[in-house]
A = this chain, B = another copy of it.
Amino acid sequence: MDVIKGNLVFSKSLNELVIRENAYIAFDDKGIEGIYDSFPSHLKDANLTDYGNALILPSFCDMHLHAPQYPMLGIGMDLPLIDWLNTYTFPTEAHFADKEVARRVYSVLAKELIKKGTTRVAMFSSLHTDATIILMEELEKAGVVGYVGKVNMDRNGGVNLQETTEESINETIRFIKESKKFKHLKPIITPRFTPSCTNELMEALGRIARDYNLPIQSHLSENVGEIAWVKELHPDTTNYYESYEKYGLWNSRTLMAHCVHSNEKELSAIKDAGVAVVHCPSSNENLTSGYARVRKMLDMGITVYLGSDIAGGDHLSMFDNVAAAIRASKARMKMDEDNTPFLNVEEAFYLATTAPASFFGDKTFEKGAPLHAIVLTDDNLPTVRKLSVKERFERAIYRQEENAIKAVYSENKRVL
């Protein structure tokens, strides 16, 4: 049994932030044994790591990001979605046909995720099966757990980044079978977005998701040009989401990134199906997609998670993306001029920690849950008075000194 000690800060729900100062978390390889306010006498033989005055937060879940776009992080931010995809993104992803490129880039990405405190992901790879398996190998080695999807795209991909329908189906099945070797990483069905997949492919993917009992991830209503394009491709639909729904790609294990422009009907369909929205504020700002109505979604009872969406987003760190969610929500408030309250720090933090943990079937900082945690120090930041743990937590979201993250735990193991 191991025990770590520090100042715990975590969300029980959207509005309930729990702070337990100088508390002890006992855990072993089966998960958290208990959380205590003083060192538990029945654990006297346990191995204690005392992190002193440090903050111990749940580590982050990044519920939407594109691994092969990592090398272009921070480039090409002056274009809207479709132009950005064709000019920068697709040519970059095409390089991942080369397994050496995949190994080199993904080994860096996996370590960076851990270094920044992200231990669980729902991630897009490229369409390349081999590169996707390499990505999963590197994530597993670094200690990142979660879902990875081989991307499907059998139309509108451009030079060197398109499969035939048959290839796409066969490679998806090969990908699912090969990914059985991983302990902590699982496959997820990943049609890139409706314009990238023929109806035949969509139908096959719906069937595969059902046959193999797999979750699904894609993009929805990110950009007005994209929405108009989907409408052209599916003239029988009134809303973008129907292009997923009609192929069995719309259920309570579906993640849909963005939903910036989802109207009342689409939001109701999201709610009714139990689809989770992955809000990607940094990406939506950069590509001028718009500002999602997150408060409205939450008020409707829709499940919302956060995603960095690199490389539409420009920061891998979920600390930055939590701050971006608050900022985007303030912009939304200014636009609507209706004083809808913006997301506060603990609400945005919840969307990146406790909320998405449930997608993996996990509770957060509870007996029986796996330990996913960040240990963060801030002793070197100057203060003029003693800050409360709550204030230190808020400051940690907005700023940290370099190397403030002293330890990261993933799936009950220290990985940094």
Output the nearest chain B residue to A93 by Cβ-Cβ distance.
B384
B314→A74 contact, CB < 8 A = no
B384 touches A92 (CB 8 A): yes
Which residue in B76, B342, B399, B402 is a CB contact (below 8 Å) of A314? B399
CB neighbours of A384 from chain B (8 A): 71-72, 92, 95-96, 101, 105
Closest to A288 in B: B330
Hey, which chain B residues are within 8 Å of A70, CB to CB? 382
Which one of A48-56, A368-376, A390-398 contacts B? A390-398
- Is A250 interfacial (CB 8 A cutoff)? no
* Contact assessment for B334 and A395 in the assembled complex, using a CB-CB cutoff below 8 Å: no
Complex-state Cα separation, A384 to B395, whole angstroms:
35
A313 to B, closest residue via Cβ: B398
Question: Considering residues A74, A314, A403, which has the most beta carbons from chain B within 10 angstroms of its beta carbon?
Answer: A74
The answer to whether A104 and B382 touch (CB under 8 A), given A74-B398, A75-B391, A77-B398, is: yes
**Residue of B whose beta carbon sits closest to that of A342:** B288
Contact residues of A between 328 and 348, Cβ < 8 Å to B: 330-331, 333-335, 342, 344-345
Q: Does A18 contact B (CB under 8 A)?
A: no
Contact of A387 with B by CB under 8 A: yes
Instruction: State the CA gap A101–B385 with chains docked (Å).
Output: 10
Within 8 A of B (CB), among A258-291: 285-286, 288, 290-291
Is A394 within 8 A of B314, CB to CB? no
A396 to B74, CA, bound (A): 8
What is the oligomeric copy number? Answer: 2
Quick check: is A298 within 8 A (CB to CB) of the other chain? no
A402 and chain B: residue at smallest CB distance: B402
Q: Name the B residues within 8 Å of A330 (CB-CB).
A: 285-286, 288
Tell yes or no: A46 within 8 A of B by CB: no
- Residues of B near A335 (CB, < 8 A) are 334-335
A145 on the B face (CB < 8 A): no
Are B345 and A398 interface neighbours, CB within 8 A? no
In the complex, whether A108 has a CB less than 8 A from a CB of chain B is yes
Partner of A383, one of B71, B314, B398: B71
Q: Which of B95, B314, B334 contacts A288 (CB 8 A)?
A: B334
CB <8 Å contact, B402 and A78: no
Cβ–Cβ contact A78 & B345, under 8 A: yes
B contact residues around A109 at 8 Å (CB): 382
- Which residues does chain B contribute within 8 Å of A399, judged by CB atoms? 73-74, 314-315
Given A95-B385, A314-B398, A403-B402, check contact A290 B334 (CB 8 Å): yes
Q: Is A323 located at the chain interface by the 8 A CB criterion?
A: yes
A81 adjacent to chain B (CB < 8 Å): no
Across the interface, do B382 and A71 meet the contact criterion of CB distance under 8 Å? yes
Q: Can you sample 18 A-B contacts with CB below 8 Å?
A: A72-B384, A73-B381, A73-B399, A74-B395, A74-B396, A74-B398, A76-B394, A77-B345, A77-B398, A78-B342, A104-B382, A105-B382, A285-B327, A288-B330, A291-B334, A314-B398, A331-B331, A402-B402
7 A-B pairs closest in CB distance: A74-B398, A95-B384, A74-B395, A74-B399, A314-B398, A105-B382, A331-B331
Known contacts A75-B394, A290-B334; can you find 5 more A-B pairs with CB under 8 A? A74-B396, A77-B326, A104-B382, A105-B384, A291-B331
